[in-house]
Amino acid sequence: MLLLIDAGNTRIKWALAEDGAAPGTWLASGAVAHADLNHLPASWARHGVTRALVSNVAGSKLHDQLQLMIPTTAISWFASTAQLAGMRNAYRNPSQLGCDRFAAALGARALAPGQALIVATCGTATTIDAVSADGMFLGGMILPGLGLMATSLARNTAQLPQVAPGATLPAGFADNTADAILSGCLSAQAGAIERACALHGASACIVSGGAAQYIAPVLRLPIEHRIVDNIVLIGLHSTVTSSPLQDSPC
């Protein structure tokens, strides 16, 4: 049994896949906040994990904690490289690219081969990356994620409150403080994705991450776009299996 892990700066997402399963076909999956890390071993205990593939962008302390918790010594720590699984990486220093971004790009390409893609992963940070139709990771954008954007206003001003995210974009020019913050933050997120799609001439856009549910509904795009849960885990899985995807392509 293969254990896949996407350790981000807010949550740890995981999935269990049987040998030979198509990318995205999980036997079990879940997510925990960093504070609930200790719950993970119980979720994995009865599944007979024989190997693990881990993307971690949340630092060395979490690396060490995961290493102790993962119930196998056959652990591969995923890293961005200059070339992998048919994808070339145009980052100036390929290893500097967040490994979750490289994995997400691989996942997006597995779902939509041969397309000019934008993959937006809306987590602690929002990353918006471009993949060419012939499989080059071109680079991208990093901005504060939706939650971080809203929280930075509450923390650094005297009068602005902490707002909860909402899936509905308030009217562009809102008539109250909470809606004005939501309108501004959602417009910034969606606007960056729309701008990236236009710059790249993308033919498809994949939106993933914990805040995708709020951002994807407000996107105004002339191309096909959709939410894909756990694009990082799909990308990790795609590097270890050649089985065809079950998911419908973009």
Ligand X SMILES: CC(C)(COP(=O)(O)O)[C@@H](O)C(=O)NCCC(=O)O
Binding residues for ATP: 6-13, 124
Instruction: Determine if 189 is a binding residue for ligand ADP (CB under 6 A).
Output: no
> Helix/strand/coil (H, E, C) string of the chain?
CEEEEEECCCEEEEEEECCCCCCCCCCEEEEEEHHHHHHHHHHHHHHCCCEEEEEECCCHHHHHHHHHHCCCCCEEECCCCCEECCEEECCCCHHHCCHHHHHHHHHHHHHCCCCCEEEEEECCEEEEEEECCCCEEEEEEEEECHHHHHHHHHHHCCCCCCCCCCCCCCCCCCCCHHHHHHHHHHHHHHHHHHHHHHHHCCCEEEEECCCHHHHHHHCCCCCEEEECCCHHHHHHHHCCCCCCCCCCCC
Instruction: Determine if 237 is a binding residue for ligand ADP (CB under 6 A).
Output: no
Q: What is the smallest separation between the CB atom of 193 and ligand ADP, expressed in angstroms?
A: 15
78-97 residues in contact with ligand X (CB under 6 A) are 96-97
Q: Which residues form the interface with K ion (CB under 5 A)?
A: 121, 123, 125, 127
Instruction: Determine if 151 is a binding residue for ligand X (CB under 6 A).
Output: no
Between the alpha carbon of residue 25 and those of residues 17, 61, 93, the distances in Å are: 7, 30, 33
Q: Binding site membership: which residues?
A: 6-13, 91, 98-101, 124, 177
Instruction: Determine if 239 is a binding residue for ligand ADP (CB under 6 A).
Output: no
Interatomic CA distance for residues 84 and 71, integer angstroms: 27
Instruction: Determine if 216 is a binding residue for ligand X (CB under 6 A).
Output: no
Q: What is the smallest separation between the CB atom of 34 and ligand X, expressed in angstroms?
A: 11
Residue 1 or 26: the one with the smaller Cβ distance to ligand ADP is 26
Candidate list 89, 127, 132, 189; residue touching ligand X; CB under 6 A: 127
Candidate list 123, 140, 170, 235; residue touching ligand ADP; CB under 6 A: 123
129 is catalytic: no
From ligand X, ligand ADP, K ion, none, interface partner of 97 (C-beta below 5 to 8 A by class): ligand X
Half-sphere exposure of 108 (CA within 13 A, CB side): 34
Residue 13 or 237: the one with the smaller Cβ distance to ligand X is 13
Residue 123 or 170: the one with the smaller Cβ distance to ligand ADP is 123
Q: Binding site membership for substrate: which residues?
A: 91, 98-101, 177
From K ion, ligand X, ligand ADP, none, interface partner of 231 (C-beta below 5 to 8 A by class): none
| Catalytic site residue from 100, 129, 134, 247 | 100
Note the residue count of the chain.
250
- Using CB positions, name the residue nearest to ligand X: 98
Which residues are known to be catalytic?
A: 100
Q: Where along the sequence are the contacts to ligand X (CB under 6 A)?
A: 8-9, 57, 96-98, 100-101, 123-125, 127, 142, 145
